[in-house]
Chains A and B, each alone.
Chain A
Amino acid sequence: MTKRILVVEDQADNRQIIRDMLAPTDYQITEAENGEEALAAIAKQRPDLILMDIQLPIMDGYEATRRIKADASLRSIPIIAVTSYALSGEGQKARAAGCDDYVPKPFSPRRLLAKIRHYLQ
């Protein structure tokens, strides 16, 4: 069955990079530009994995992650935080919010894809 990935990212370039990175795979992509859109997208269709930018307008990635992880029916969806907000302690903060993994920006598409494959095995 085709796996669905929800990409939560406000920067058009980064969405494009992730889209191009996933193009050769058969993963299906849904995109959201902020935490609220992400929650709405999840309510519509449950993704198998979420790539979550942290610094987002309206509702940031930490808040969105907390809400997803607080919902028993969604808790098992792996969330990979992808963030350039890389002050020290960010890794711990991402995990505290409930993210399963953390990738600092700039990320290598090759490595991010490997991580996605690992979680979707």
Chain B
Amino acid sequence: MRRKEPGEFPEHTVKLLQTFADQSVLTIQNARLFREIEDKSRQLEEASQHKSQFLANMSHELRTPLNAILGYTELMADGAYGGPSEKMLGILKRLEANGKHLLGLINDVLDLSKIEAGQLVLELSHYSVQDIAQTVRSTLEPLAADKKLGFKVEIASQLPSGRGDGRRLTQVLINLVGNAIKFTDAGEVAIKAEADNGAFYVSVRDTGPGISAADQAKLFQEFQQADNAITRKKGGTGLGLAISKRIVEMHGGRIWVESQPGQGSTFTFTLPVVVERQVEPA
């Protein structure tokens, strides 16, 4: 390229320079792209941090007043401010039931937001399926008794100890059994658990109205319930099954329903007995 005389560049030099120029353009473009990507990912990270902080704050802000409402209600019912009349006691019970319902809704919405924001972290430790079933039984058997429904627990003997998020799995089972009780008007609700080939299989069977094939497909999606008329009558956010599905999937498992209208429903989830790390959504 170092020429002493004026004149045209030979063709191969022009080509070489052309290549240099092209490469330089590419390099400059790449450098710009890299910086853009870096900026974008920093912005995304900040946004995600803000979202997470917002969720934490909302959780706090929503629960604080509820704590006062539920706390005073319980104290009044327990006679901390003088013995309540029978009539007042009835009202206090309803106040408590409504407050707890609201708390459930808030928890559902926050849980789902956390999952969406990738902020739900499983606390992995040892758990016992038997203990979980027992907790669910003692929580929900009174509700079944109110509706005169039978409540069965069939746990296979000598189940291995599991590793996963016991609290979240309890939440899943409470959800399934709660739904079963909610939608069943006569008969029974049964929890069954067994282990096979390194996996737990936990199912909840009811003698409720059953679910059509078309509705089964929608059940596990957010904000969906089988029938809007039922939603209005039975309440609920329609988030419970969506949250349960995500929790089971984070354990590397899956959840499904088998049902026919008029034949009751069986919801089953399966997951590895030992979960060493959380499975991120695909």
Interface residues of A (CB under 8 A from B): 11, 13-14, 17, 20-21, 23-24, 55, 84-89, 91-92, 105-110
Contacts and interface: CB of A to CB of B under 8 A. Distances in A.
Given A13-B68, A23-B80, A105-B64, A85 B59 contact: yes
Given A21-B80, A86-B59, A107 B71 contact: yes
Contacts of B114: 87-88
Interface in B194-225: none
A55 B66 CA distance: 16
Contacts, number: 71
Contact of A24 (B68, B69, B80, B119): B80
A11 to B, nearest CB: 6
Interface of B: 55-56, 59-60, 63-64, 66-72, 74-75, 78, 80-81, 99, 103, 114, 119-123, 168
Contact of A106 (B63, B78, B121, B168): B63
B71 A17 contact: yes
A53 to B, nearest CB: 10
A24 B63 CA distance: 26
A86 B61 CA distance: 11
B63 A86 contact: yes
Contacts of A108: 70-71, 74
Contact of B67 (A20, A21, A106): A106
Most buried by A among B66, B75, B119: B75
Contacts of A107: 67, 71
Nearest to A113: B78
A87 B67 contact: no
B67 A105 contact: yes
A87 to B, nearest CB: 6
A87 B66 contact: no
A87 B99 CA distance: 20
Given A84-B63, A92-B123, A20 B70 contact: no
A111 to B, nearest CB: 9
Contacts of A86: 59, 63
Given A86-B59, A106-B103, A109-B75, A17 B68 contact: yes
A20 B75 contact: yes
Given A87-B114, A88-B120, A106 B70 contact: yes
Nearest to A105: B67
A23 B67 CA distance: 19
B103 A21 contact: no
Contact of A89 (B67, B74, B121): B121
Nearest to A18: B71
Contacts of A87: 55-56, 59, 114, 119
A94 to B, nearest CB: 12
Q: Which of A55, A88, A89 has the most CB of B within 10 A?
A: A88
